[in-house]
């Protein structure tokens, strides 16, 4: 498993992880256990997913040393005014002594509390309860303001990113500021991307599924990526992407698929509490 450095922290994040968005609470423990058995060492959850308890049970029951499993969770929108307390509640639900990465889930610009939330999260990081801290769904504008008004630059920004929404401006901004890019919905939520004829051609060339081709593209771009599935065969398939390399021409062919097509909410207007 490749790992990348989260800047300023010395913390290594496994480049490919397992996401549990939309995994029902009653299925989370088994799904995460299956992922850990398949070789994943990076689990991504959030308070809003309602499955932190199951994730924590699976991590604790895995038999793996705690330091070998990278755990991310996130602060929900309605908790920006009480970020430290909400973090402690997530930690209690997980049943862990610390998390490896804690993120602000959305900036919620209409609420205008994300700077306040970040200052509380900086304290959580300094106390060692979160080894690294970052954000999710932030834009150039919200990231810039955060960096201007607080002390710690987010180590990572987790954004919707797939071949139909390649986020080139955000990725360039991240690179210029020492921020890692993490992709959610990396294979397009099964909403047509994997049926693209260009991916079918590459699937035949490399003897890999379209999903594996896309995940390999992410890895070669330098993205952290967190595919999600509850199907054991698919969980195993998604991690089987380290035995081939896409050539330059094929990376360019996937790069040509960009449509600017967003599947999830727009971070500039998403204000759900």
pLDDT > 90? residue 1: no
User: How many residues does this entry show for the chain?
Assistant: 273
Structural domain contains residue 265:
no
Structural domain contains residue 260:
no
Structural domain contains residue 271:
no
pTM, entire model: 0.97
18 labelled catalytic: no
- pLDDT digits over 114-162, tens only? 999 999 999 999 999 999 999 999 999 999 999 999 999 999 999 999 9
d(CA 255, CA 253): 5
Q: Which residues contact 243 (CB under 8 A, 6 or more apart)?
A: none
At 141, which CATH number? 3.20.20.100
Phi-psi map region of 115: left, alpha, beta (phi>0 left; psi -120 to 50 alpha): alpha
Of 49, 98, 114, 164, the active-site residue reads 49
Whether the CA torsion 27, 134, 225, 39 is positive or negative: it is negative
- What pLDDT does 9 receive? 82
d(CA 261, CA 136): 18
d(CA 258, CA 236): 27
Q: 253 falls in which pLDDT band (50, 70, 90)? A: very high
Bridge partners (DSSP) listed for residue 271 = none
Q: Domain of 22?
A: 3-255
Structural domain contains residue 261:
no
- How many domains are contained in the chain? 1
The chain-wide mean pLDDT, for the chain, equals: 97
For the CA atoms of 105, 221, 166, 101, what is the dihedral angle to 10 degrees?
0
3-state helix/strand/coil string of 10-33? CEEEECECEECCCCCHHHHHHHHH
Phi–psi pair at 75, nearest 5 degrees:
-85, 125
- What pLDDT does 190 receive? 77
Structural domain contains residue 56:
yes
- pLDDT digits over 87-109, tens only? 999 999 999 999 999 999 999 99
User: By mean pLDDT, which of 8-12, 107-111, 221-225, 232-236 is the weakest?
Assistant: 8-12
**In what order do the strands lie in the sheet containing 99-104?**
18-19, 42-44, 70-75, 99-104, 130-136, 156-160, 180-184, 224-225
- pLDDT digits over 64-75, tens only? 999 999 999 999
Structural domain contains residue 58:
yes
Structural domain contains residue 126:
yes
pLDDT > 90? residue 260: yes
Structural domain contains residue 157:
yes
- What pLDDT does 273 receive? 80
């Amino acid at each position: 498993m490749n790992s990348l450095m989260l800047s300023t922290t010395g913390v290594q994040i496994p480049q490919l992880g397992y996401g549990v968005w939309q995994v029902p609470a009653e299925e989370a423990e088994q799904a995460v256990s299956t992922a850990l058995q398949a070789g994943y060492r990076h689990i991504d959850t959030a308070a809003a997913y309602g499955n932190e308890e199951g994730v924590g049970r699976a991590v604790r029951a895995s038999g793996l040393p705690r330091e070998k499993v990278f755990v991310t969770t996130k602060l929900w929108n309605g908790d920006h005014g009480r970020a430290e307390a909400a973090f402690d509640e997530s930690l209690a639900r997980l049943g862990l002594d610390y998390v490896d990465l804690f993120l602000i889930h959305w900036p919620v610009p209409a609420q205008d509390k994300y700077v306040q939330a970040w200052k509380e999260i900086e304290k959580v990081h300094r106390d060692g309860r979160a080894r690294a801290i970052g954000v999710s769904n932030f834009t150039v504008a919200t990231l810039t303001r955060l960096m201007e008004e607080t002390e710690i630059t987010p180590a990572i920004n987790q954004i919707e990113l797939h071949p139909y929404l390649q986020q080139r401006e955000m990725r360039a901004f991240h690179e210029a500021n020492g921020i890692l890019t993490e992709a959610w919905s990396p294979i397009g939520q099964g909403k047509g991307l994997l049926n693209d004829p260009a991916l079918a051609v590459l699937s035949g060339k490399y003897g890999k599924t379209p999903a594996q081709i896309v995940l390999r593209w992410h890895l070669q771009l330098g993205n952290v990526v967190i595919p999600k599935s509850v199907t054991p065969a698919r969980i195993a398939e998604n991690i089987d992407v380290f035995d081939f390399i896409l050539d330059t021409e094929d990376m360019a062919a996937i790069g040509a698929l960009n449509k600017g097509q967003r599947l999830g909410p727009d971070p500039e207007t998403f204000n759900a509490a």
